[in-house]
């Protein structure tokens, strides 16, 4: 709504913007967030409002396509830290007019080592901004990060901190190392799709994915070693039901 108000009062000029920015820890989360924003913008356009331009700013995509959008002026940017840092360093984007910053999954941003990158992004803001920080967990390191990132923050807790979601049934079974992959297949045979399998590292993802394919399971895999097109195709095929199983690292691509 802020972007709509800004555009109504003073239409954006080429090269201007963004007014708001969302930083995500992974390309997949950034793409998902961008898609949701686009869904909100469709009815605005149909209702006759002025055009609101979003930009997805992630690695693995030709930077030239992102620069073309930036040249026209953008209202909202959804970005991963790496590509955002590159564009700011090359002075292809500025945050002079950015008033709203959202740090999504802040715990993941810190876990993945993006804390220094985020601090560099802060240096590009010229005027006062409102910063929103979302995190599923709040360990001490995230609390310390929040103290540096926020000024006199208001804390909103959804449920009790650290408590499990009562709507989720959690089952834990202890399985011997050499029997895990076989037991995984047995579980899949008893469980209707879609099924999401999380792994600790890329090697485990590739191993389990190849094993499932050999056993005739309609499976796809994503991790940071695959290019953006492979990762997006895998997610699309899983979301549309063309594939039954998605094997991934814990943040969908890293």
What is the model's pTM? 0.76
13-16, long-range: CB < 8 A, 24+ apart: 13/73, 14/71, 14/72, 14/73, 15/70, 15/71, 15/73, 16/73, 16/97
pLDDT at 148: 85
CATH class for the region spanning 2-149: alpha beta
CB 24 within 8 A of CB 35: no
169: left (phi over 0), alpha (psi -120 to 50) or beta: beta
- Low-confidence residues of the chain, pLDDT below 70? 1-10, 160-164, 251-254
pLDDT at 4: 61
Of 145, 77, 80, 79, nearest in space to 107 by CA: 145
pLDDT at 254: 42
pLDDT at 52: 87
Please list the residues that pair with 125 across neighbouring strands.
Answer: 95
Domain ranges of the chain: 2-149, 177-249
- What are the pLDDT digits (tens) for 1-25? 566 666 566 677 888 889 999 999 9
Dihedral pair phi/psi, residue 211, rounded to 5°:
-65, -45
2-149 and 177-249 in the same fold:
yes
Chosen CATH of 177-249 out of 3.40.50.970, 3.30.460.80, 3.40.225.10, 3.40.50.300: 3.40.50.300
pLDDT at 253: 43
């Amino acid at each position: 709504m802020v972007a709509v108000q800004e555009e109504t009062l003073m239409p954006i000029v080429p090269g201007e913007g963004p007014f708001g920015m969302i930083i995500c820890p992974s390309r997949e989360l950034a793409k998902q967030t961008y898609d949701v924003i686009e869904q909100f913008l469709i009815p605005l356009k149909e209702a006759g409002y002025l055009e609101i331009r979003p930009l997805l700013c992630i690695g693995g995509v030709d930077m030239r396509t992102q620069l073309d959008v930036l040249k026209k002026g953008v209202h909202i940017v959804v970005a991963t830290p790496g590509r955002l840092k590159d564009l700011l360093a090359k002075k292809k984007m500025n945050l002079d007019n950015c008033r709203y910053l959202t740090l999504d999954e802040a715990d993941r941003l810190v876990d993945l080592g993006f804390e220094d990158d985020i601090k560099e992004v802060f240096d590009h803001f010229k005027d006062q901004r409102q910063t929103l920080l979302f995190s599923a967990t709040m360990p001490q390191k995230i609390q310390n990060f929040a103290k540096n990132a926020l000024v006199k923050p208001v804390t909103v807790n959804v449920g009790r901190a650290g408590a499990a979601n009562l709507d989720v049934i959690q089952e834990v079974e202890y399985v011997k190392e050499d029997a895990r992959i076989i037991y995984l297949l047995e579980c899949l045979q008893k469980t209707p799709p879609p099924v999401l399998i999380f792994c600790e590292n890329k090697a485990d993802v590739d191993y389990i994915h190849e094993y499932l394919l050999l056993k005739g399971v309609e499976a796809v895999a994503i991790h940071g070693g695959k290019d953006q097109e492979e990762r997006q195709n895998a997610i699309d095929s899983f979301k549309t039901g063309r594939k039954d199983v998605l094997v991934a690292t814990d943040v969908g691509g890293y």
